[in-house]
Amino acid sequence: MTVHRVYLGIGSNLGQRKANCRRAIEQLRAHGVEILKESSLYETQPWGLKGQPDFINMAVEASTTLTPEELIVVIKEIETSMGREETVRWGPRLIDIDILLYDDRVINTTVETASQGTLQLCIPHPFMDRRDFVLRPLVEVSPDVVHPPSGKTARELLKDLLSQEGDL
């Protein structure tokens, strides 16, 4: 079996936000995802849709024998089992688990499932290079991990983003 290196973003802005993130990690472990490193928990303002509670966000580095298609199904099953309900895009959520990176793969496809319907699988995560709440924890976990399409490290992506926002 091939072991793959994956980076996941985890966030919550409803209920016990920190506990939700911790529970998601426990659920990932229960599904055979070995958590190698965890970032700190970051409290951040919502992105994309204002007027909702602040988020707790974090990133993890993990290893798994799951394929990308199997991993997205496991993630959606965990989110559903934890009580996530689909609302508006970028809206409030009890738990959100995103595949940020999977080895050095670039994937854009759909996955058909019996339990979850059609799932969109985009790796790297399509907005990760525009979200400081993703990049800050990712840099903490693995500053030199490379974003395949750009060839830039997580650290370089964060520096670019902050300079665009005028923070540097």
**Residues annotated as part of the active site:** 84, 93, 96, 98
Q: How many helices (H) and strands (E) does the chain have?
A: 4, 9
Burial 51-74 (b: 16+ CB within 10 A, else e): ebeebbbbbbbbebebebbebbbb
Say if residue 97 is exposed, middle or buried (CB neighbours under 10 Å; 0-12, 13-18, 19+).
Answer: buried
Is the distance from CB of 18 to CB of 56 less than 8 angstroms? yes
| Total Cβ atoms within 10 A of residue 78 | 21
- What is the CB neighbour count within 10 angstroms for residue 29? 12
